[in-house]
Structure 1
Amino acid sequence: MTAITSTAYSRDLGDELRRLREKHSGLTGAAFAEQLGWDPSKVSNIEKGKARASEIDLVQYFMMCGRDTDQFETFRARYRHAFDTYVALVPDNLRTLAMAEAQAERITCYDVLSVPGLIQTPEYARALLSGGRGTPEQIERGYRSRMERQAIMKRPYRPECVFYVHELALRLQVGDERVMEEQYLRMLFHTHVLRVVPMSAGPAAIRMSARMLFRFEKLVPVAYSETDLARVFAHDGAAIADSREFFKWLDSIALDEGQSRDVLTSCISGLRKDLHEPQAELA
């Protein structure tokens, strides 16, 4: 077992091992360690993603849980990258992201084309996901996951959050007018943590991909970015420093709370005007 700086992915996979132990052995961490002849701290550190388990450690762990060779090999292939400074995961892997959000002390987020997932209304989220190429099952799974992740926003001691949203995301209609109005109202409720990046800021902000920066109380920060091909978690010092500079730059070009509220109010007024204006009859 090798002690090393934990990553978002190592903590996710460590938690997967913990759930495996609890489900298939029924033993506490201390009792499990005793059966393996390990120090209890070894089980704890591996399950918290604080230490890399050797291949022999993993074999022993899986055999104690009654798992077969195929299951071990599948896990080992993923675990090989657990402590990499850059990890790219498939788009439908949401566990690592959800765990990072749940553990974070501060979350800073930027999106260009859609409202950040943590403050989306259910109707907006479903309409957004339904507009993609996923199967009905994938859409439903993504929708449920997004709604469940929002639970952190209701906690008494929730993360300190700042959401930078480009004006393009506000202007892009998702669903019908009622869906958009409810989403604007939700964001108005969150204007204390929301900053609009205006179109007048120029093309530079539009070219940047969606990203997040997670800060933890006792863990190394994590920079995160995503595309339709992969979710990327970066723990490298240069990536963290770049993300900090990026959000400092966004702070300098984004509207303040009052100005952001004005933009949202304007969006709502425009929608209501369109809804109540009589439609022109075709000749």
Structure 2
Amino acid sequence: MSVITSTACSRALGDELRRLRETCTDLGGAHMAVRLGWHPSKVTNIEKGKARASEIDLVQFLTMCGKDIDFFEDFRRRYRYAFDEYVVQVHEDLRAVVFAESTAKMMTSYTQLSLPGLVQTSEYADALYRLGGFVAEERIPNLVRIRTDRQAILRRIGGPTCLFYIHELALRQRVGDDQIMEDQYARLLFESHAIRIVPADVVVPSAGCVLWEYDKVLPVAFSESDLGSLLVQDPGAIARTRLLFNHLEQVALDAGQSRTKLAEYVSPPREEFDGRGPRLA
């Protein structure tokens, strides 16, 4: 076992080990260490993602939890790069993302052509998945449920302080029918205290990203594309992400202006909406 700087992925996988111990055994962390012949702090450090477990450590731990070789091989595959500063994941594996998101103290995000998942209505999310064409239809309901379940952190006591920078171009993207768009605009207005709109005529050379910040561990930057997701803890990349958000703070509308802009989109739609601006009556 080697002690190392934790990452979003190592903490998520460490937490997965903790949950396995709690659900598959009747052992506390200290008793698990005794059974394995480890120092008491070893279980704690591994479960918090602060230390990299060796393959032998993982075999011993997972065997104690009653897991077989197939489970071990899958976990080892995911654990292999968990401590890297850059980790690429497929979209289906959301465990590290959800854990990083739910344990953050502050979350800042920027989106350009679609709305942040944490403020999407379920109908908007469903329509967005169907428009993309990348997801099998039978999987969409479950993905929408996961997306809406993640939104609980916005209502949780002690949850992260959130700031969403949304480019006006994302507001103009028509996703679904008039009712879906009206409900989505109303949802954004409800969350307007956490939203800053970037005007349509402002050019921002970024496809979008998220910065998660914590009390006692390093920040994590996150971005996603059609091909996969990227979690980054490299200090240089974090510094560049901060520069982006510093720039957005300068060019975005303030809180009152953003709320006024969102209110324009909430207005009843014209009979024919061409998608080129606010849906004014």
TM-score normalised to structure 2 length: 0.92
Pairwise CA distance, 1:108: 0.2
> Which range moves more in the overlay, 254-263 or 168-177?
254-263
Aligned-partner residue type, residue 63 of structure 2 = M
Report if the CA contact (8 A) 2:14-2:47 is conserved: yes
Deviations 1:110-160 (Å, cap 9, x if unpaired)? 111111111111221222123233123321221111111101101122211
Note if 1:97 corresponds to 2:94: no
Q: Tell me how far apart the structure 1 counterparts of residues 271 and 101 of structure 2 sit (CA, whole Å).
A: 38
What corresponds to 2:40 in structure 1? 40
Deviations 1:222-280 (Å, cap 9, x if unpaired)? 011110111101001001100000100111111112222222222223x433379xxxx
What corresponds to 1:260 in structure 2? 258
Q: Tell me how far apart the structure 1 counterparts of residues 270 and 70 of structure 2 sit (CA, whole Å).
A: 60
What corresponds to 1:245 in structure 2? 243
What corresponds to 2:222 in structure 1? 224
Deviations 1:145-185 (Å, cap 9, x if unpaired)? 11111011011222111100011110011111111111111
> Which range moves more in the overlay, 25-34 or 235-244?
25-34
Q: Tell me how far apart the structure 2 counterparts of residues 70 and 43 of structure 1 sit (CA, whole Å).
A: 22
Note if 1:209 corresponds to 2:207: yes
> Which range moves more in the overlay, 54-63 or 109-118?
54-63
SS at match of 1:161: strand
SS at match of 1:255: coil
Q: Tell me how far apart the structure 2 counterparts of residues 238 and 193 of structure 1 sit (CA, whole Å).
A: 27
Deviations 1:79-107 (Å, cap 9, x if unpaired)? 11010000000011111111111111100
Q: Tell me how far apart the structure 1 counterparts of residues 78 and 92 of structure 2 sit (CA, whole Å).
A: 15
Pairwise CA distance, 1:44: 1.2
SS at match of 1:114: coil
Q: Tell me how far apart the structure 1 counterparts of residues 271 and 245 of structure 2 sit (CA, whole Å).
A: 35
Contiguous gaps of at least 5 residues in structure 1: 277-283
SS at match of 1:31: helix
SS at match of 1:199: coil
Aligned-partner residue type, residue 251 of structure 1 = E
What corresponds to 2:111 in structure 1? 111
Report if the CA contact (8 A) 2:90-2:229 is conserved: yes
What corresponds to 1:272 in structure 2? 269
What corresponds to 1:280 in structure 2? none
Note if 1:63 corresponds to 2:63: yes
SS at match of 1:195: strand
> Which range moves more in the overlay, 182-191 or 240-249?
182-191
SS at match of 1:74: helix
Aligned-partner residue type, residue 260 of structure 2 = D
SS at match of 1:175: coil
Note if 1:170 corresponds to 2:171: yes
What corresponds to 2:49 in structure 1? 49
What corresponds to 1:138 in structure 2? 139
Report if the CA contact (8 A) 1:94-1:145 is conserved: no
Aligned-partner residue type, residue 162 of structure 2 = C
- Identity among equivalent positions (%) equals 52
Note if 1:30 corresponds to 2:30: yes
Q: Tell me how far apart the structure 2 counterparts of residues 72 and 41 of structure 1 sit (CA, whole Å).
A: 23
Q: Tell me how far apart the structure 1 counterparts of residues 158 and 47 of structure 2 sit (CA, whole Å).
A: 25
Q: Tell me how far apart the structure 2 counterparts of residues 143 and 48 of structure 1 sit (CA, whole Å).
A: 29
Report if the CA contact (8 A) 1:112-1:209 is conserved: yes
SS at match of 1:214: strand
Pairwise CA distance, 1:26: 3.0
Q: Tell me how far apart the structure 1 counterparts of residues 85 and 195 of structure 2 sit (CA, whole Å).
A: 30
Change in Cα spacing, 1:122 to 1:25, as seen in structure 2 (3 Å) is same
Equivalent pairs, count: 272
Aligned-partner residue type, residue 223 of structure 1 = A
Note if 1:2 corresponds to 2:2: yes
Contiguous gaps of at least 5 residues in structure 2: 274-281
Q: Tell me how far apart the structure 1 counterparts of residues 136 and 228 of structure 2 sit (CA, whole Å).
A: 18
Q: Tell me how far apart the structure 2 counterparts of residues 69 and 274 of structure 1 sit (CA, whole Å).
A: 61
Aligned-partner residue type, residue 114 of structure 1 = S
Change in Cα spacing, 1:33 to 1:196, as seen in structure 2 (3 Å) is same
